[in-house]
Amino acid sequence: MKFSARLAFCTAALLGLAACATNQAPGASAPAGALDKTLQAFHWDMEKATDGGGLPLEGFSSAPPDKRVRLNFVGDARPGAPLLVVERLCNHISAGYTLDGDKLTVSRAVSTAMACSNPALMQLEQSVATKLSGVHRVQLVDGGQPPRLVLQLASGERWYLNGTPTAATQYGSAGETMFLEVGPELKPCSHGVMKDAQCMQVREVKYDKAGVKTTTGEWSAFYGMIEGFSHQPGVRNVLRVKRYTLAQPPADASRFVYQLDLRVETETVRSR
């Protein structure tokens, strides 16, 4: 008997923001082009935020680590129209942005509309969405490893953020989006150093622009792992993944790195 649950395609870019802090942002501003490249190369995770008088805004720092505000500057979201995307709250918030020197202009923010059971998180989300739009100042802190960013809002607040390299930065390539169907059972690997191990069974799936499945490849053993995904016996998945090519892969290892982006389909298969 089969019990299936279909998960719809996610159309919004899910990326991140976070704010980090210092009372003063030392160092001269980088040229807008170089600064924008740095902004887009990292996820920016909130460390703390302060009001116009330098007092901490508790709502930003009191949230658990997995609910701290995360910002992503997405240059390829739309041709000629980069997006600033906020993640880790109840909903995903996004807005177009432009950069002129250290002046960051953010357009009106839009948000998904999921219900939130955490009143404090919902209040924080509403505050972020309201404050995001406007003309702000952004500056990298000199010598930060990982980099640190100070975002001074039009309201006078300062958000202090820590940078975490995106996968494209980490692996040195933009990555390729593809869809993989992962079978419900592991099977013996067929060759190589893993021939005595158990491998996931995977085949590539392709969709048209309307999201309709067009072709399905042949099953083959998958030698490696998909970051963010754990195989469960008896569960079939179709995954949207990002595949990155390593410039210098380790010996006897794949030249590709796979990261989970979205579960498109999940089906639990139970034998009688």
- At 21 the three-state DSSP class reads coil
The pLDDT tens digits for 49-67 are 999 999 998 888 777 777 7
The pLDDT value recorded for residue 27 is: 41
Measured in degrees and rounded to the nearest 5, phi and psi for residue 109 equal -80, 145
Enter the pTM of the model.
0.67
Rounded CA-CA distance 106/134 in Å is 5
The pLDDT value recorded for residue 78 is: 57
- Looking at the domain assignment, is residue 220 inside a domain? yes
Residues 185 and 261 in one domain: yes
Residues 159 and 178 in one domain: no
Most confident residue range from 27-31, 201-205, 228-232, 240-244:
201-205
- 60 within 8 A of 70, measured Cβ to Cβ: no
Residues 236 and 113 in one domain: no
How many separate domains does the chain show? 2
Q: Indicate whether 224 pLDDT > 60.
A: yes
Q: How far is CA 145 from the centre of its chain?
A: 20
Task: Give 169-210 as a DSSP string.
Answer: HHHTS--EEEEEEE-SS-EE--SGGGTTSEEEEEEEEEE-TT
Among residues 165, 198, 222, the one where a domain terminates is 165
Residues 193 and 86 in one domain: no
Residue span of the structural domain in which 38 resides: 32-165
Which CATH number do you get for residue 109?
Answer: 2.40.128.270
Residues 92 and 37 in one domain: yes
Strands of 75-197 (E only): list them: 83-87, 93-100, 103-106, 110-111, 134-140, 148-152, 158-165, 176-182, 187-188
The pLDDT value recorded for residue 119 is: 87
Burial degree of 164 (CB within 10 A; 0-12, 13-18, 19+): middle
Q: Indicate whether 20 pLDDT > 80.
A: no
The pLDDT value recorded for residue 23 is: 34
Residues 207 and 156 in one domain: no
* Strand pairing class (226-227; 256-269): parallel
Residues 54 and 134 in one domain: yes
Among residues 139, 165, 191, the one where a domain terminates is 165
